[in-house]
């Protein structure tokens, strides 16, 4: 079964495909055989109960200057789609908020990614304040007295608009900064909302890490190092993308956020972490997919579509996946990998399976695929492993899994007593 997908995005003719995550999502969807349609947010209308737009069939090509073809516009109700990708860029203003109100009317019958109500309720620099233990000291205010007290306590700070994006109007203010008064006045007339005043993190020169979580699980990361003469790491501001891996602290941040994001229906999220401190949870239209792929990291677009297909109940209908399981003494675990054959795998003392993907520069230790509890399914039917990897203290067998399988089926892979591998379809 294929999905009928509509994307709500800014004019597709103007995007730079090399860095555009929406485009990466469209390429992947098309590769999987899903049907793509396109409209811009300004063309959304609510007529009675029908949410309609002049929708155009879309095909995409990874070719700069010739990256798309659009069909004739046809007035269609969005209710007739399986999935709508909400992918317009900020500003997160009343137009954006209205668009979430409109899309909320069709969700979840039509799966809107991300959940429009959750997008509305999670302004990126405010939502993050739910996790003060993960953040640098931060004040949301436009009150001079509060701001002065905060500066007196924390020294150098960063001042930025609450709904800013792409590094716009981010200032570092030194403890005795002579520009502060003027900057305060300028912010006061320019931004009606409170601002973010945050302790300055000097380690930002080492980079601001963008970490992608898919349905609450770590999917990939890229470090963005600011230009020598800029505070801002954003790639649109000249930040350089570098391959990276997660520190234990960052894994802990992902583990803390994961359940909350999943519960809110925030399938595709990009968080920003500077020196182990969380500064932003991007939910409107996060980026990073293409930079991560270019640096040899995981296929985060594939993982996002896996998550969407799973939610639409068609995941098992997809291309064959490979499954691995390992034994270590009596402990048996299985893992499934969406990225094809790993070049290196190993299994740790707890039976976790680690794999290093062919193009990945991440160390196997950092790439935790899955830990699936020991499985002992008595009714397994046998099938042959494609190949086998030796790992310290055991082995990992690789299977080609039938297309009809769900991840549950893979969990139920089991070894037979004689050492030949057996499986059972769930």
Ligand X SMILES: Nc1ncnc2c1ncn2[C@@H]1O[C@H](COP(=O)(O)OP(=O)(O)O)[C@@H](O)[C@H]1O
Has 224 been annotated as catalytic?
yes
Catalytic residue among 282, 290, 299, 348: 282
Catalytic residue among 32, 87, 120, 125: 125
Is residue 272 near Mg ion by the rule CB under 5 A? yes
Contact characters 275-314, Mg ion, x per CB under 5 A: -----x----------------------------------
- How far separated are the first and last CA of the chain, in Å rounded? 19
- Find which of ligand X, Mg ion, none residue 200 binds, CB within 5 to 8 Å per kind: ligand X
Closer residue to ligand X in complex, CB, 81/200: 200
Has 280 been annotated as catalytic?
yes
CB of 166 to ligand X, least distance (A): 5
DSSP state letter for 239: P
Is residue 286 near ligand X by the rule CB under 6 A? no
CB of 161 to ligand X, least distance (A): 8
- Find which of Mg ion, ligand X, none residue 342 binds, CB within 5 to 8 Å per kind: none
Catalytic residue among 120, 232, 290, 318: 232
46 vs 21, 76, 95, 106, 384, CA distance in Å?
A: 28, 11, 14, 11, 54
Asked whether 223 and 204 are in contact (CB, 8 A), the reply is no
Residue 301's nearest CA partner among 42, 90, 25 is: 25
* Residues within window 115-144 making contact with ligand X, judged by CB under 6 A: 136
Has 361 been annotated as catalytic?
no
Residue 269's nearest CA partner among 193, 216, 231, 309 is: 216
Has 282 been annotated as catalytic?
yes
Closer residue to Mg ion in complex, CB, 208/215: 208
d(CA 145, CA 138): 15
The residue from 100, 114, 198, 300 that contacts ligand X (CB under 6 A) is 198
95 vs 14, 122, 129, 210, 400, CA distance in Å?
A: 20, 16, 24, 27, 48
Contact characters 171-210, Mg ion, x per CB under 5 A: ----------------------------------------
Residue 286's nearest CA partner among 111, 121, 89, 80 is: 89
Stretch that binds ligand X, among 99-107, 225-233, 325-333, 342-350 (CB under 6 A): 225-233
DSSP state letter for 401: P
Stretch that binds ligand X, among 110-118, 215-223, 229-237, 305-313 (CB under 6 A): 229-237
Residue 264's nearest CA partner among 117, 99, 90 is: 117
Is residue 204 near ligand X by the rule CB under 6 A? yes
Catalytic residue among 76, 124, 272, 348: 272
- Find which of ligand X, Mg ion, none residue 250 binds, CB within 5 to 8 Å per kind: none
The residue from 39, 68, 81, 200 that contacts ligand X (CB under 6 A) is 200
Question: What residues contact residue 351 under an 8 Å CB cut-off, 6+ apart?
Answer: 326, 328, 331, 332, 333, 371, 374
Rg of the chain over CA atoms, in angstroms? Answer: 23
Closer residue to ligand X in complex, CB, 52/289: 289
Closer residue to Mg ion in complex, CB, 170/214: 170
- Find which of Mg ion, ligand X, none residue 306 binds, CB within 5 to 8 Å per kind: none
| Total residue count of the chain as it appears in this document | 426
Peptide bond into 245 cis (omega under 30): no
- Find which of ligand X, Mg ion, none residue 274 binds, CB within 5 to 8 Å per kind: ligand X
Has 232 been annotated as catalytic?
yes
CB count in 10 Å sphere of residue 275: 17
Has 210 been annotated as catalytic?
yes
The residue from 116, 123, 164, 338 that contacts ligand X (CB under 6 A) is 164
Is residue 124 near Mg ion by the rule CB under 5 A? no
Asked whether 309 and 253 are in contact (CB, 8 A), the reply is no
d(CA 169, CA 161): 7
Contact characters 242-281, ligand X, x per CB under 6 A: ------------------------------x-x----xx-
> Sheet of 138-141: strands edge to edge?
138-141, 195-199, 157-161, 171-173
The residue from 226, 270, 342, 415 that contacts ligand X (CB under 6 A) is 226
Asked whether 292 and 302 are in contact (CB, 8 A), the reply is no
Output the CA angle 30-35-41, nearest 5 degrees: 100
d(CA 405, CA 400): 11
Question: Where in the sequence numbering do the catalytic residues fall?
Answer: 125, 160, 210, 224, 232, 272, 280, 282
Which residues lie near ligand X (CB under 6 A)? Answer: 136, 158, 160, 164-168, 170, 198, 200-201, 204, 208, 226, 231-234, 272, 274, 279-280
Which residues contribute to the site for Mg ion (CB under 5 A)? Answer: 272, 280
């Amino acid at each position: 079964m294929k999905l009928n997908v509509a994307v709500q995005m800014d004019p597709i003719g103007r995007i730079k495909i090399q860095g555009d995550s929406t485009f990466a999502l469209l390429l992947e969807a098309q590769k999987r055989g899903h049907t793509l349609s396109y409209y811009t947010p300004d063309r959304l209308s609510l007529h009675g109960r029908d949410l309609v737009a002049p929708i155009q069939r879309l095909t995409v090509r990874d070719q700069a200057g010739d990256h798309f073809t659009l069909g004739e516009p046809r007035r269609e109700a969005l209710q007739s789609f399986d999935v709508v990708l909400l992918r317009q860029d900020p500003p997160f203003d009343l137009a954006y908020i209205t668009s979430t109100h409109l899309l909320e009317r069709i969700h979840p019958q039509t799966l809107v990614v991300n959940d429009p109500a959750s997008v509305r309720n999670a302004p990126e620099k405010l939502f993050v304040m739910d996790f003060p233990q993960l953040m640098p000291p931060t004040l949301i205010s436009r009150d001079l007295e509060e701001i002065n007290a905060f500066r007196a306590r924390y020294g150098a700070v960063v001042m930025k608009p609450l709904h800013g994006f792409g590094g716009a109007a981010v200032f570092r203010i030194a403890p005795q900064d002579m520009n502060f008064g003027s900057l305060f006045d300028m912010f006061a007339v320019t931004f009606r909302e409170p601002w973010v005043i945050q302790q300055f993190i000097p380690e930002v020169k080492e980079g601001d890490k963008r970490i992608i979580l898919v349905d609450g699980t770590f999917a990939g990361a890229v470090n963005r190092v600011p230009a020598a003469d800029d505070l801002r790491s954003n790639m649109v501001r000249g930040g350089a993308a570098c391959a990276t891996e997660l520190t234990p602290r960052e894994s802990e941040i992902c583990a803390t956020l994961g359940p909350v994001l999943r519960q809110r229906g925030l399938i595709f999220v990009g968080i920003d972490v500077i020196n182990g401190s969380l500064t932003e949870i991007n939910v409107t239209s996060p980026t990073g997919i293409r930079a991560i792929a270019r640096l040899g990291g995981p296929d985060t677009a594939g993982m996002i579509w896996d998550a969407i297909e799973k939610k639409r109940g068609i995941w098992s209908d997809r291309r064959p996946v490979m499954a691995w399981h390992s034994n270590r003494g009596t402990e048996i675990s299985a893992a499934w990998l969406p990225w094809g054959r790993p070049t290196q795998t190993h299994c740790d003392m707890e039976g976790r399976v680690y794999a290093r993907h062919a193009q990945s520069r991440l160390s196997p230790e950092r790439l935790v695929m899955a830990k699936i509890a020991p499985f002992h399914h008595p009714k397994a039917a046998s099938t042959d492993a494609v190949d086998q990897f030796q790992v310290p203290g055991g082995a990992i067998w690789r299977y080609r899994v039938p297309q009809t399988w769900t991840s549950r089926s893979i969990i139920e892979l089991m070894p037979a007593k004689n050492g030949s591998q057996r499986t059972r379809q769930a």
